[in-house]
Amino acid sequence: MMKANFPQFRKLINDKSYYRIDSISRITEIQRIGQRWTIYVVDAKILPERLMIQDILDENSSQYQAISEQEYQNFQTFCEASLVRFSN
């Protein structure tokens, strides 16, 4: 894996999840579930979590689209009123 500059921002192509990747082991996901939005902060401690982050960072992935920090922040601001916060 090539060296990446952080943070990086991605979204699913269906616009149901937005990601802020702070490092190869820390990610924040804003996810739509029904009519509500949730935010998950993952500190990757096990291999499946680290592989998930690598998949999201993969520039050849057809599931994820790179976005700007401004787009991520605009989306976060839009969702903030209904966010339920979880962390592991």
Question: What order of strands is seen across the sheet that includes strand 83-87?
Answer: 64-66, 8-12, 17-23, 26-33, 36-43, 83-87
pTM of the model: 0.83
Assigned domain for 2 exists: no
Assigned domain for 59 exists: yes
Assigned domain for 79 exists: yes
Number of domains in the chain: 1
Model pLDDT for residues 2-43, shown as the tens digit of each residue? 457 999 999 999 999 999 999 999 999 999 888 788 889 999
Assigned domain for 47 exists: yes
Residues of the chain with pLDDT > 70, as a percent, come to 86
Range of the domain at 21: 8-87
Do 5 and 20 meet the contact criterion of CB atoms below 8 Å apart? no
**In the chain, how many H helices and how many E strands?**
2, 6
